[in-house]
Structure 1
Amino acid sequence: MQPTEPIEVSEKSVADLLLAMSKTGFQGRKLGEAFKVWLEMLEEDEITILMGLAGAMVPAGMRKIIAYLIRNRYIDVLISTGANLFHDIHEALGFRHYLGSENVDDFYLYNEGIDRIYDVFAYESEFNKVDCILADIISELDGVVSSRKFIGELAARVYRLASEKESIIVAAYESGVPVFCPAIADSSIGIAAAIADRRVVIDTIKDVEELTDIVVKSKKTGVIYVSGGVPKNFIQQTEVVARLKGVEKGGHDYAIQFTTDMPQWGGLSGCTFEEGISWGKISQKSKKVQVHVDATIALPVIVHGLQNVKRRSCPVFIWDRELKIDYGCLSHEVSACQGL
């Protein structure tokens, strides 16, 4: 057995602090271990890192952190709730979320046209303006497309309108990082589509095929789950789909999750990676860490620890009739690899 090592109070980087925390106990240790697993992923020559993003992360101020992860290719694929993408577009277009309070008369807020997300406020009228802008954009689109293709089309148009370029979908669009949103109707993007003069159809079964294709054609895969929900399951099930198609991947090779949920309630957001092994979704040999922590605490700390870490290489996705993945691109050369 190794002894724990008390953390000395001294001048140190966030990375050094996280490494020191990995030698302590409880969730501080788990946070440090998650950091070490993420570093291991970035050292791999041929790996695709997928992030599942749930919870109200964008209203809570995590938007630029996710954009930073994308631009620096600390993640390669994003699977998000529709709400996070809508709130990202909301801020890209110059609107804001505001510091509020959970101790408030909500009927008063309703009469004032203010929506509350725990201790964050936003104006309903501004949400409605964004709904209408998105409805106009969606009315320009046509065809049957995956959510990845649909979000790419939104990003191209939001980029032209954006006053704030540090957007999640704009960063993904510029960096060649695919963004999937399998439950896109369950958001204000779905509301905008419902009021649009709509000719475009979002085929979410095509999402299943495309994301599974990414996993099948990746040499190795690592997953990072912020909360859980639909994005977590959507990534997890790719291993099952691949197996039913005759490809045995053996489960994801690395896995990290930041969650406040617990396994005993039976929900996916709290289920353990050990449980995922029974489904073949997580490799028995995987490096895996689950941290029971509010992601708005974990993400700023870990991502600051990742600053200045240079990834060895990252995948470039070539979307043609058949998906091709090229791992020959260094992370700092990704824009050139994408031809941007």
Structure 2
Amino acid sequence: MNKSKYLRGKRIAPTPITKDTTLVQLIETTFQAYNAARLREGAQLFADRMLGDDVTVGLTLTGALTPAGLGISAIIPLIEAGFVDWIISTGANLYHDTHFGIGLSLHQGNPQISDVVLREEGVVRIYDIFFDYDVLLSTDSFFREIIRAEEFQHEMSTAEFHWLCGKYIAERERVLGLTNQSVLSTAYRCGVPVYTSSPGDSSIGMNVAALELQGGKIRINPSTDVNETAAIVLNAKRSGGKSAIFICGGGSPKNFALQTEPQIQEVLGIEEKGHDMFLQVTDARPDTGGLSGATPSEAVSWGKIDPDQLPGTVVCYVDSTVALPLITAYALAKRAPRPLKRLYDKRGEMMNLLKSEYEKSERR
């Protein structure tokens, strides 16, 4: 009998699937190998460890997730359950999220249809998602209208900007009789700060830029975002807790979330070790050198991940539109809701902590 230590893994002996098999049973007993196993490990990491009461969970969003309905189906339930404490998203996801909150419609379509024909008929395509060109114009009009308000006319972080946008979207939902249609309005109600790593790289940023041409005084300060996100992570650690990052896709939001630790350690000179848990769902390969495919072990070399916590990292190579609903359903089935941390309301307090520790640093 071979007694190699490499044969100590759990025996592959799945339970046959029946009509009564639950999603939890499906994931735990039939996802035995390859990326199914990584998805199981990721779901278990999220539900069993990342959702501990002392863990602050950041979620990053890349790729066209909200147009596919994942804001409504997965992200909003995670926020309301207290399973997501802060978010970094592409601006595009937040722009398309707004369509739903202001009562506009997107439709399933056939990706084989000629784009020339679609253009002639005023239909915009995101792979197999179709919507009328007027959806863009109506959403642009909504943003131009609200950002003219006096409360927008000053310098702010993207968290404050999105909080204000969420307030107006929530009011539009109320008027239209809609419920739980927008990530931004839900984040507003739940006190979840929402950042974007590239404020100008979306139709929201384009409309902000247009207002500037008209003399608007709104200014988005990326440096405030860098410091506020670092403060969130430092606060999680200094309060005796842990920091976890759930990455959907990769790209700029991934780096913006992970760079919080180099900002704390390398730039500000504050003693820290890195994020404690890391879950990424991606289709990007690591061997091309892109950030989206960079592994947790590579992140250790940058100080982004605590080297002692590498067992608390999982990378699952699968489409986020497949993985996120499954992980969400698994977590909601396995864990009771957590109290909302309402980190948006604590930004000043967390920034004071960051400043006080930086004042003691030799890097000043």
Same fold (TM over 0.5): yes
2:43 corresponds in structure 1 to 35
Contact 1:21 1:31 in 2 (8 A): no
| 3-state SS, counterpart of residue 30 of structure 1 | helix
Contact 2:144 2:207 in 1 (8 A): yes
Residue 307 (structure 1) shift: 2.0
| 3-state SS, counterpart of residue 247 of structure 2 | strand
Question: Which amino acid in the other structure matches residue 230 of structure 1?
Answer: S
- CA 1:77–1:16 in structure 2 vs 1: closer, same or farther (change >3 Å)? same
1:182 corresponds in structure 2 to 197
Residue 12 (structure 1) shift: 2.8
1:57 aligns with 2:65: yes
Residue 245 (structure 1) shift: 1.2
Could you tell me how far apart the structure 2 residues matched to 1:320 and 1:206 are? 11
Percent pairwise identity? 31
Could you tell me how far apart the structure 2 residues matched to 1:66 and 1:144 are? 28
- CA 1:283–1:321 in structure 2 vs 1: closer, same or farther (change >3 Å)? closer
1:109 aligns with 2:123: no
The structure having more radius of gyration, on CA atoms, is: 2
Could you tell me how far apart the structure 1 residues matched to 2:12 and 2:162 are? 47
Could you tell me how far apart the structure 2 residues matched to 1:71 and 1:320 are? 20
Aligned residues: 324
Q: How does 1:1-340 map to 2 (within 5 A)?
A: 1-2=8-9, 3-10=11-18, 11-21=20-30, 24-64=32-72, 65-140=74-149, 141-162=152-173, 163=176, 164-166=178-180, 167-196=182-211, 197=214, 198-218=216-236, 219-243=241-265, 244-286=267-309, 287-308=312-333, 309-311=335-337, 315-317=341-343, 318-319=345-346, 321-323=348-350
| 3-state SS, counterpart of residue 64 of structure 2 | coil
Residue 313 (structure 1) shift: 5.2
Unaligned 5+ segments in structure 1 are 326-340
Q: Under a length normalisation based on structure 1, what TM-score does the superposition of the two structures give? A: 0.91
Could you tell me how far apart the structure 1 residues matched to 2:165 and 2:147 are? 8
Could you tell me how far apart the structure 2 residues matched to 1:288 and 1:177 are? 24
Contact 1:67 1:168 in 2 (8 A): yes
Deviations along 1:195-242, whole A, 9 cap, x unmatched?
A: 324221010110000000000111310000000011100001000000
Give RMSD over aligned pairs.
Answer: 1.7
Greater strand proportion: 1
Deviations along 1:102-139, whole A, 9 cap, x unmatched?
A: 11111111111111111111111221111011011111
Question: Which amino acid in the other structure matches residue 22 of structure 2?
Answer: S
- CA 1:129–1:314 in structure 2 vs 1: closer, same or farther (change >3 Å)? closer
| 3-state SS, counterpart of residue 164 of structure 2 | helix
> Where has structure 1 moved over 6 Å in runs of 4 or more?
none
| 3-state SS, counterpart of residue 52 of structure 1 | strand
Residue 70 (structure 1) shift: 0.6
Could you tell me how far apart the structure 1 residues matched to 2:185 and 2:280 are? 25
Contact 1:76 1:177 in 2 (8 A): yes
Could you tell me how far apart the structure 2 residues matched to 1:134 and 1:185 are? 14
Question: Which amino acid in the other structure matches residue 98 of structure 2?
Answer: I
Could you tell me how far apart the structure 1 residues matched to 2:165 and 2:119 are? 30
| 3-state SS, counterpart of residue 245 of structure 2 | strand
Q: Under a length normalisation based on structure 2, what TM-score does the superposition of the two structures give? A: 0.85
Greater helix proportion: 2
Could you tell me how far apart the structure 1 residues matched to 2:65 and 2:347 are? 33
1:337 corresponds in structure 2 to none
- CA 1:127–1:48 in structure 2 vs 1: closer, same or farther (change >3 Å)? same
Deviations along 1:165-184, whole A, 9 cap, x unmatched?
A: 31101111111111111212
Unaligned 5+ segments in structure 2 are 1-7, 353-364
- CA 1:78–1:321 in structure 2 vs 1: closer, same or farther (change >3 Å)? closer
Deviations along 1:72-94, whole A, 9 cap, x unmatched?
A: 11111111000110111111101
Could you tell me how far apart the structure 1 residues matched to 2:293 and 2:324 are? 18
- CA 1:264–1:236 in structure 2 vs 1: closer, same or farther (change >3 Å)? same
Could you tell me how far apart the structure 1 residues matched to 2:274 and 2:231 are? 14
